[in-house]
Structure 1
Amino acid sequence: MRYLLRTLLISFFWIIGFNSYSQKTLNLKELDIQKYKDVTPIVVKALKKCKEEGVSKLIFPKGTYHFYPTFAPEKYCEITNNDNGLKRTAFPIIDFNDFIIDGNGSDFIFHGKMIPFIIEESKNVTITNLSIDWKVPFVIEGLVVASDAKSKTFDIKVETPYAVKYNRLYLSLEREDSPYEQRYGKRFATWEHYNLEVGQNIFWDPKTMAPLYNTKQYSMPEIGIKAKELEKGLIRISTKMKKLPPIGSVMVSKGEYLQNRTSPAFRVFKSKDLEFKNVNVHHAGAMGLIAERSENITLDSFNVVLKKGSKRMITTTADATHFCNVKGTVTIKNCIFENMLDDATNIHGTYVRVNKIIDDYTLAIETYHPHQNGYLFGEEGDMVQVIDQKNLLPTTQPMILKKVERVNEKISYITFNKPITNKVNIYDGVENISWHAAAVLENNIVRNNRARSFLISTPRKVVVRKNHLSSQMAAFRITGDLGLWNESGPCDDLLIEDNLIEDSVYGGNRPQSIFLIDPQYRDKDDFEGKYSRKITIRNNTIKTFDSSILLAMSVDELVFENNKIIQTNTYKPIFPHIENVRIINCNNAIIQGNTYQRLDGRKGSILIDKKTTNIKVSKRSAFEDVSSKDR
């Protein structure tokens, strides 16, 4: 008995010792990190030590840390939907396994063009308990203090570092003093300073902390914007606008198109089983997180939010989160996404286009949008199919990629295991069906952002429930296209339930619906087939000032039921004559159990086109059928 007890005790303490060793930690307090003005080289050194010595957890003592690009390692990154280029990073998490970074509630402040975290070829990595911000934001925010309709000018007061050169206004990043000593009369970091010309402008309402209602009427052209400095911090803008912005609004400019997505907060590529928990992104010069060619990603309390006490209007200059060709499951829960200049999340694949038919088994394919140059479409062994450019439907059965040969950032040769004779045309698409994600989006808040809440384009099971959404455009967009972004693919089991949607679609760009299901056909009057299937929208509370609630195009098995719709008087309707519900080219559709509290007490309207078949609208429906009588 004593021998057995002794053996058990020895085994117990051996296990404890083994686990302690296997969970070895490095506390950066040991490296006196808090005494450094620029901690980038200290963190890079610590990460190298962790990798070499098998350390599984890196801990920051709670504090505020500044990261500069001067001593940051760099690598060339081709990042889909963002700007490619040499990227410097303070956290090169490359080929790490079973690793945790715990910020312990710290604030990470970045300076200049950096990507804080580059996570590649890694597995089972957790990032937790930290906040990311930039000392100088990637946007100019100018308070409109005067305007002159006769001269078509308006004046803005600017605090963000800026420059006015050659009658043009530029954002000046990294204008504050460099942390490095002067030598030979120059500072080490001066060559890292750069300017970004204003472009892609929008006007914000400081009262609502959101884009102006009917923002479209204040649109500025992308070219021909002239600027004159009247005095320090006071800029006169001269441009052609239909309507000058109201005094008291804020002009927001994120820079010239195709040059303003340089610095996402997190870049994830070819990695698996990642968790981001209790992370705040207060600002980034692109997306909060962009993940591609990865598997199983969880965001839990990953917040893209303004910092408390900040005077800024903008968090990320693009999407809060974005997932392209990710598989497994994407989980987004308990998150707040606010004040972005684009969507809360976008989950999709990407079509490549057929550039040339080489032979019966081989195609030359190309990326189309400039932000997809270098995009990794597929690798040997992936399952793919050809997509018809007109109807966005497959023209082949699934095939296996036998060979992928990259020519340059736009062109690759791909070889299939089956012949494609007479099944493909120039400019058709090719879709990688191996890399699509299932998703759970639950208990999140989206508010005060330009563009949409959730874009979902995946044929895996997706559940979206118990979210509170209020975005400038559609709350949900389900689409696919071969015309611009080339985003795939169709939904094939989407459940949207128990969400609260409040006063979305106030941008005025066009008649957007709260639920917008609209595959982008080349000719909207000449197409066939059903793009998506099995979409259920039920038990949601929808508070809306405008008319269009649901546009559903080309769906097989559509259910819109038991939704509570309440018309508000928050804003004046922008498109009051659009039918509330439009059903286009659908099959097996059910519209039932919905209620609609209109201010005028009347029923809502539903339009059903001639292509729609097998639709059931309950007799006690909240919507009156206004379809043409000769349907």
Structure 2
Amino acid sequence: MNKLNLWLSALLLFCSWTYSSAGQVISIADFGLKPDSRVNAVPYVQKALEACRKQPGSTLLFPKGRYDFWAQHSTERDYYETNTTDNNPKTLAILLDSLKDFTLDGNGSSFVMHGRMQPLTLDHCSDIRLKGFNIDWDIPLTAQAKVLKSTPDYFEIQIDTHESPYIIEDNRLVFIGEGWKSEMWGIMEFTPDTHLVAPYTGDRLGWRRYHAEEVSPGIVRLSDPKVAKVYPKVGNWLVLRTNERDHAGIFLFHSNNVSMEEIDLYHCCGLGVLSQYTRDITMIKVRVVPNAAKNRYLSGHDDGFHFMGCSGTIRIDQCAWGGLMDDPINIHGTCVRIVEILSPTRIKCRFMHEQSVGMEWGRPGEKVGFIENQSMRTVGTGIMTSFNPLSKTDFIVELQAPLPVGIAAGAALENLTCTPDVEIRNSFFGSCRARGLLVSTPGKVVIENNTFESSGSAILIAGDANQWYESGAVKDVLIRNNIFRYPCMSSMYQFCEAVISIYPEIPKPDPKYPFHRNIRIENNTFNLFDYPILYAKSVDGLSFTDNKLVRNTTYQPFHYRKDGITLDACKNVLISGNKAEGDVLGKTIRLENMKPGEVKLRKDSFFKLKK
């Protein structure tokens, strides 16, 4: 056999091996489901998934089109989803249960939900690839309206009654959906030309009391005589918040090695993509954005991507968010309180926040940290040997070795094994109700080449063991080559002290033990209309270097902070090489609870320490 024949034989063998290892492509059409038929896709998908289970490495392919999902035939299952209202059971449109080595390829299809249901759930799966589809509702679970008239005493709105049917009940605006009914309780205001949250508005229209009356079909008058009359601008659009965050759009639960690509999540009534105790997640070109074809201003009811208790590496690239009612990304762990010392190695613990109950918080062999919750200092670590739930709120942890000296009831416990490394690149953080990126993990974090237009702080690094119980003191964070546009910090929300806000909730800070460590902010461009650029509390090793600061005059300054940088109880701070273009306002550095010697100001032509 000559060399050419040998090469061809090898190529044929390689191609044959590649085809067989890729697994079988199974079309949903083989089970009788046709695109655009408007029949309930649920039972067809269930049968197709069972066929895929028998073919490891298989791909379930949807011929391009529209597929509708109703609650009938759907699986119902209890899930305790973090930062989500405990409404169980969840109705699951598509459930991947204990699948391995599987691809779901939507081929550009639309998955349209009907009623209150969780579109896609992965439960104890591994090596899963999701790609090529979008998720939406014909009748969204949250409504929107255009402002037609605004007076000192009331304003009037126009509602699309085909998309958002409503009634007026006891002078309240109540929306009627497919199998649900819910009263409006809050409002967010967006500008029509930019789809940005209207500046300075934030949560100011978050009413709980109001009076509603119908002027004519689709036209509703709203007034609130018992509070300050701050009414929206004529021509602006309002998101009318009605529902609880009772399900995720896509739920990754105790799974491993999940990749998502080219997915648009146009709507859901809770967290968009919720990853809970899942290891190694990759998201490329995944968007949680409003459906522009339907002139929607709202995408998700809450966070876009939410990661709790995850591990391995989270990779996010070329993703986008907009029109959310909370943060595009939130990455954290969950602290629990030690409520009783049963023995030197046994402790009774409790979930302290109502939206974190019922979770499988730990497993044998995992590392935990013991936190003194007043100073937030980790005083020691240990290894779990068992986790035994007593109820939705309480559980018992058995430890390999006795508790550290000084740990008593009231202290907090943190799972240090369930903490990921994070890479967030080349993504667009559009205008949403709250902040841009929340990250609290001791893993290595890289945030680079992103663009931020968040209406609150672009980046928040928090952490606490007293209120939200979202754990994770950072140890290695690089914020590099990002663009912060003028909408950043144009409204006030919780913890929004500057464009980048490092704000752990520490009741009694101990200067000897800073909470966060090693945060570098370098080579970014800040387009600033207001004073506060950076706020940092309790950080050891903070640098703000070689950033470009550009004055923007689109909005007028409004923030109560009048310093560019505020440092509170920080150590080893370097500020160097920053340059300004135009009359940037925040020229001064304010120090609180620390000495000037902790700040090194080098080769910086802009910032000056405030005397």
Query: Which TM bucket (shorter chain)?
Result: over 0.9
- Equivalent in the alignment of 2:216: 231
Alignment correspondent of 1:336: 320
Equivalent runs, 1:296-335 vs 2, <5 Å: 296-335=280-319
Asked if the contact 1:546/1:576 (under 8 Å) is kept, the reply is no
Q: Residues of 2 paired with 1:603 and 1:132: CA distance?
A: 43
RMSD: 2.3
Q: Return the offset for 1:587.
A: 1.3
Match of 2:113 in 1: 110
Could you say what secondary structure the match of 2:490 adopts?
coil
State the match for 2:232 in structure 1: 245
Q: Which one of 442, 453, 468 corresponds to residue 451 of structure 2? A: 468
Q: Find the residue that maps to 2:78 and give its secondary structure.
A: strand
1:455-604 to 2 correspondences below 5 Å:
455-503=438-486, 504-509=488-493, 512-523=497-508, 529-575=513-559, 577-599=561-583, 604=587
Give the alignment partner of residue 409 of structure 1, picking from 382, 387, 392. Answer: 392
Q: 1:557 deviation in Å?
A: 1.1
How far does the alpha carbon of each residue in 1:198-228 deviate from its partner, in whole angstroms, 9 at most, with x for none? 1232222223212111014843432x23322
User: How far apart are residue 609 of structure 1 and its match?
Assistant: 3.0
Alpha-carbon contact 1:547-1:577 (below 8 Å) kept: yes
Residue 168 in structure 1 maps to residue 172 in structure 2? yes
Shift of 1:128: 0.5
Give, as a single letter, the amino acid of the residue that structure 2 aligns with 1:491.
Answer: V
- Residue type of the alignment partner of 1:502: R
Q: 2:358 aligns with which of 374, 386, 390?
A: 374
The answer on whether the counterparts of 1:261 and 1:317 sit within 8 Å (CA) in structure 2 is: yes
Residue 65 in 1 paired to residue 67 in 2?
A: yes
Matches within 5 A, 1:106-255: 106-149=109-152, 152-159=153-160, 160-174=164-178, 193-216=179-202, 218-222=204-208, 224-239=209-224, 240-242=226-228, 243-255=230-242
Change (3 A) 1:569 1:10: closer
Q: Contact conserved, 1:304 with 1:315, CA < 8 A, in 2?
A: yes
State the alpha-carbon separation in 2 of the partners of residues 464 and 320 from structure 1.
17
Q: CA deviation at 1:488?
A: 1.1
Structure 2 Cα separation of the partners of residues 528 and 611 of structure 1: 11
Report if aligned partners of 1:90, 1:115 keep a CA contact under 8 Å in 2: yes
Q: Which amino acid aligns with 1:74?
A: E
Show the counterpart of 1:453.
436
Instruction: Say if 1:391 and 1:527, in contact at 8 Å, map to a contact too.
Output: no
- Which region of structure 1 is more displaced relative to structure 2, 537-546 or 9-18? 9-18
Choose 503-512 or 492-501, whichever is displaced more.
Answer: 503-512
Instruction: Give runs of ≥4 in structure 1 deviating > 6 Å.
Output: none
Residue type matched to 1:214 in 2?
Y
Change (3 A) 1:582 1:22: closer
Deviation at 1:482, TM superposition (A): 1.9
Q: Which residue of 2 aligns with 1:33?
A: 33
Change (3 A) 1:566 1:404: same
**How far apart, in 2, do the equivalents of 1:486 and 1:603 lie?**
33
Query: Counterpart amino acid of 2:181?
Result: N
Structure 1 residue 415: Cα displacement: 1.5
Q: Is the 8 A contact 2:102 2:127 kept in 1?
A: yes
What SS is found at the alignment partner of 1:29?
A: helix
**Stretch of structure 1 that moved more, 16-25 or 153-162:** 16-25
Q: SS where residue 47 of structure 1 aligns?
A: helix
TM value normalised by structure 1: 0.90
CA distance in 2, matches of 1:143, 1:385: 50
The secondary structure found in structure 2 opposite 1:372 is: coil
Tell me what 1:180 maps to: none
Assess, with a 3 A threshold, how the Cα gap between structure 1 residues 31 and 422 changes in structure 2: closer, same or farther.
same
Instruction: Give the C-alpha shift of residue 579 in structure 1.
Output: 0.7
| TM-score between both structures, scaled by the size of structure 2 | 0.93
Query: Larger deviation: 579-588 or 429-438?
Result: 579-588
Letter of the 2:479 counterpart: I
Q: Measure how far apart 1:98 and its partner are.
A: 0.6
- Determine if contact 1:596/1:604 at 8 Å carries over to the other structure: no
Instruction: Provide the rounded CA distance (Å) in 2 between the counterparts of 1:277 and 1:127.
Output: 6
Contact 1:43 1:90 in 2 (8 A): no
8 Å CA contact 2:188, 2:203 repeated in 1 = no
Residue-by-residue CA offset, 1:100-144 (whole Å, 9 max, x unaligned): 011111111111111111101111100001111111112121222
Identity %: 26
CA deviation vs aligned residue, 1:273-327 (integer Å, no higher than 9, x gap): 1100011111111122000111000000001122232221101111110111100
How far residue 55 of structure 1 moved from its aligned partner, in angstroms, is 5.9
Q: Give the counterpart of 1:609 among 548, 567, 592.
A: 592
Pair 417,303 (structure 1): closer, same or farther in 2 beyond 3 Å: same
Pair 1:142–1:390, CA change in 2 (3 A): same
Distance 1:53 1:216 in 2: 51
Equivalent residue of 1:395, what SS? strand
Change (3 A) 1:445 1:402: same
Unpaired segments of 5 or more residues in structure 2? none
Distance change >3 Å, CA 577–CA 285, structure 1 → 2: closer
Check 1:427–1:225 CA distance in 2 against 1; reply closer, same or farther (3 A cut): farther
Alpha-carbon distance in 2 for matches of 1:14, 1:513 = 56
Question: Is residue 25–residue 55 contact of structure 1 (8 Å, CA) maintained in 2?
Answer: no
What is the identity, as a one-letter code, of the residue corresponding to 1:516? S
Asked if structure 2 preserves the Cα contact closer than 8 Å seen for 1:344 and 1:452, the reply is: yes
Structure 1: give runs of 5+ residues left out of the alignment.
175-192
The answer to whether residue 76 in structure 2 is matched with residue 90 in structure 1 is no
CA gap 1:14/1:78 in 2 versus in 1, 3 angstroms: same
How many aligned positions are there? 598
* Corresponding letter in the other structure for 1:126: R
Q: For 2:43, what is the secondary structure of its paired residue?
A: helix
What letter corresponds to residue 165 of structure 2 in structure 1?
P
Measure the CA separation in 1 of the matches of 2:275 and 2:435: 19
d(CA) in 2 for partners of 1:349, 1:168: 38
